[in-house]
Homo-oligomer: A and B are copies of this chain.
């Protein structure tokens, strides 16, 4: 039996407490709702963390025991300490998976990893979102229909200023006239990064069955690969034929 994949769901956790509308949708917090995706599946062990926990929820013993980190942030990006961003970045470089949700596109860690503006157009009025599977052969698309809808979501529209994804899994259509690259896979360092667009706090996106499939598929895809730890710096070299490897 394989060791379970250790998933940590990090949530800013502010809207869920301050806005009764959000609290009604997510009585256990956005993190609680997402954690329930993994709870009864023996392939995973799951825990949650929020910004207002000690060490902003991710002390070393938690972060270093995380195989895949989910991240939901919005209004408090600036409060996340640079030191924590650095530790997360180091973990991704070392192989940890990172799944960035919705407004986390503008989190410090995403901006650090992407190296670009990481902004888009947005609007929250009355848009319906239709998410099309562009790569049906991608493991993150497992079990999905050709497209699925979210009856009300915040619109994010292109140009979304990020590097072209290594693999583009989803494109969203919005009823107001916009499109968005909604499922973007990146390999960074020895880690994998998946950005998944939907998830506005005032609508029950993370209760949607298709969304929950994507979250689980993303964790399986993003888990550490177990390849060689790269070495850097001065290298005397090994003569060809004497490698002993």
Contact = CB atoms under 8 A, between A and B. Distances in A.
Tell me the interface secondary structure of chain A in the complex: loop
B158 A93 contact: no
A188 B181 CA distance: 16
Given A159-B136, A189-B137, A233-B122, A243 B116 contact: no
Nearest to A174: B173
A145 B227 CA distance: 8
A241 interface: yes
Interface string A225-237: 1111111111111
Q: How large is the interface on A (under 10, 10 to 19, 20 to 34, 35 or more residues)?
A: 35 or more
A226 to B, nearest CB: 4
Given A114-B115, A159-B136, A179-B179, A123 B168 contact: no
Contact of A132 (B117, B133, B178, B234): B178
Given A148-B243, A148-B245, A227 B173 contact: no
Contacts of A173: 173-174, 177-179
Contacts of A226: 139, 141-143
Interface in A204-245: 210, 224-241, 243, 245
Count of this chain's copies in the oligomeric assembly: 4
Given A122-B235, A147-B245, A161-B189, 11 more contacts: A115-B188, A116-B188, A121-B231, A123-B234, A123-B235, A132-B178, A133-B227, A133-B228, A141-B225, A158-B171, A173-B174
Interface of A: 93, 95, 112-117, 119-123, 128, 130, 132-139, 141-149, 151, 155, 157-159, 161, 163-164, 166-168, 171-179, 181, 186-192, 210, 224-241, 243, 245
